[in-house]
Amino acid sequence: MSEALPQAGDVLYVGGAASVQFAGARSLTFRVIRVDPRITYDGWLWIDGYVLGPSGDATERRVIFVKRDGLRKMR
């Protein structure tokens, strides 16, 4: 996801390319609430949002630290 920052409401696939902690079976579908504006490492973001289950319902609220270029926007 090298274009604009994720926006509230965006649904993202978060896998190993975003952070090693989300590799393989630990990947998740994530609906963005907000991107933390604080400055961090170049290319990394803190994102607040909801983990989505198979039916698309929110199952858990989380704050994740991920590489921007490793995120995939879903339709």
User: Residue 61: inside a domain, yes or no?
Assistant: yes
Is residue 16 one of the residues assigned to a domain?
yes
**What pTM, to 2 d.p., does this model score?**
0.89
Taking only Cα atoms into account, the Rg of the chain, rounded to an integer number of angstroms, comes to 11
In a domain, 39, yes or no: yes
Kindly state whether residue 2 falls inside one of the protein's structural domains.
no
Find tokens 């978060």 and name the residue.
14
Q: Is residue 5 part of a domain?
A: no
CA distances from 72 to 12, 45, 64 (A): 5, 14, 15
Tokens of 21: 């902690």
Cβ contact 26:19 at 8 Å? no
Count of the separate structural domains present in the chain: 1
Identify whether 3 is part of a domain: no
Instruction: Tally Cβ neighbours within 10 Å of residue 60.
Output: 10
pLDDT tens-digit profile, the chain (75 residues): 556 899 999 999 999 999 999 999 999 999 999 999 999 999 999 999 999 999 999 999 999 999 999 999 998
Range of the domain at 57: 10-73
Task: Please check whether residue 1 lies inside any domain of the structure.
Answer: no
- CA pair distance 32, 8, nearest whole angstrom: 5
Q: Is residue 37 part of a domain?
A: yes
